[in-house]
Amino acid sequence: MMWRRRVALLGIIVIAALLAFPLRPFVNQMIVLPLAYILWLLNILYLSLNQTVWWIGVVVVVFLILGKSLMPEIKPSIILVPAFKQPGRGGVESLAIAIKKANKGIYLKWLVANRLGKLAYQILLQREHGKPRSIFAPLTGEGWEAAPEVQQYLEKGLHGSFADFPRTRSRFFASPEKTPLDHDMTEVIEFLESKVEN
């Protein structure tokens, strides 16, 4: 997906470069000359008015801004139409939205991994029947046999940060390097579901 954007951008730059010379007289006639004329007229207007007029205008604008910011907003005491409040998103809906957006950047991938890591922590806490458990402890416990990639994904999500995975690229057109956060979320979710069922 990223390489398509880069190819499209490169194509636009090449087309613009090819059209730059043939369209020079047209751009000069239709854009540059009218803009230069408008700027010349504004300069004449500026020079023709006394500096006192400009200072009075500046002071009036400053007082208007100050008055607007210092005066309290006038609100009607009776609200005729009740305001519509959008209901807040639940945890599952927020997670679903984050999963849809996860391919747009390392922060969103980490955000999903963090939520799934917290869910894994809650599952382990529940399986240990409320025994005290540090959130910084490794995600291990009796009957917790996660695949190494799944375990690493959950650990990096819970105990890591998106800053641990900078967007480094070896070449300009190369895709970002794979991180533990790029692991298939379906496998992670299926593993957590199996632990909830047990």
Specify whether the CB–CB gap between 119 and 92 falls below 8 A: no
Greatest Cα pair distance, the chain, in angstroms, is 86
Specify whether the CB–CB gap between 139 and 151 falls below 8 A: yes
| pLDDT tens digits in sequence order for the chain, 198 residues long | 677 888 888 999 888 888 877 888 888 888 889 999 999 999 998 888 888 888 999 999 999 998 888 876 655 555 555 565 666 666 667 777 777 777 777 788 888 888 888 888 888 888 777 678 777 888 888 878 888 888 888 888 888 887 777 664 545 555 667 777 777 878 888 888 888 766
Token pair, residue 143, equals 């009957």
